[in-house]
Structure 1
Amino acid sequence: MTDEPSEAGRDKLEIDNMYLCGSTFTRVNLNEARFSDCHLMGATLDDVNATGLIHENVNLSGARYYDVNLSGAQISNANMAKISVRDTNMAGARLSDITLSGAVIADANLTGLSIDDASLSGMTINGILVDDLLALWSEAHGS
């Protein structure tokens, strides 16, 4: 997909209260387009440049993202319960003011991971309670 404008005119199309189910848009420039009160269930976006795309008050439950560049993305006030994330590079990610209760992190590279100002009660690492590990460390270091 190219971001270069074609030789075609730059007509503005305003569509209101229309059903375009099953429509196909190919090589269409929708730069600065606005979609409001729209239904996109089952829609597929493939080979799309959506840099700077804003999702606000959007239901993305059941959405699937594959081979997606979300670097620099910001997510806030989101319900991501039961989300499944795999084979994903999150190096340098910052997670704050989040709830991970009941979450499972498996087969992960946690090199350099820092956990600060967090409730760790009930948290385990390889089946060992972190509270117990911290208590042993405190005993050994006289803290």
Structure 2
Amino acid sequence: MTDQEPEAGQDRLDISNTHLCGSRFSCVNLSDSDITDSIAERLSFDDVDLSDLQLLNVNASGARVKDASFARATFSDVSLEGATFDRVSLRDVAITSADCTGMTIDGVSVGDLFSAWNSQQGDASR
């Protein structure tokens, strides 16, 4: 063994079957890390760069997202049932193959909006 401390960026941990409840990480670089088959209930991120984050097979029921940017993000096979969006920019958002049953925007039924638009499109083609 050497008496020298490893250089920054050289430390790697392989943690398994361990409880780290209540742990705090500050000024930590976790780039290229993997967390699998784990429980992270009530996990909090504040002032964290999650660029290129991948969330696969995740249950985030009850999650709160505030002051966040998902610019150029991709969401696929996602359930937003019962979710609430407040002060959200949907500029240049594309939604395809969506079930909008019961969805409202500022209290207006999206289904009614689609019906009115489809009706207007039918009238325009006559």
TM-score higher than 0.5: yes
Q: Secondary structure in 1 aligned to 2:117? A: helix
Q: Structure 2: any 5+ residue segments left out of the alignment?
A: none
Counting only pairs closer than 5 Å after superposition, residues 1-143 of structure 1 correspond to structure 2 as 8=4, 31-142=11-122
Q: TM-score, normalised by structure 2?
A: 0.89
Measure the CA separation in 2 of the matches of 1:30 and 1:122: 52
Measure the CA separation in 2 of the matches of 1:91 and 1:29: 29
The 4+ residue runs of structure 1 with deviation greater than 2 A are 27-32
Q: Secondary structure in 1 aligned to 2:120? A: helix
Change (3 A) 1:141 1:64: same
Measure the CA separation in 2 of the matches of 1:111 and 1:62: 30
Cα deviation digits, residues 66-99 of structure 1 (max 9, x gap): 0011110110100000100000011001111011
Cα displacement (A) at 1:109:
1.0
RMSD over aligned Cα atoms: 1.9
Cα deviation digits, residues 41-61 of structure 1 (max 9, x gap): 000000001111111011110
How many pairs does the alignment contain? 121
| Identity across matched positions, percent | 30
Cα displacement (A) at 1:127:
0.5
Q: Structure 1: any 5+ residue segments left out of the alignment?
A: 1-6, 11-26
Measure the CA separation in 2 of the matches of 1:9 and 1:104: 49
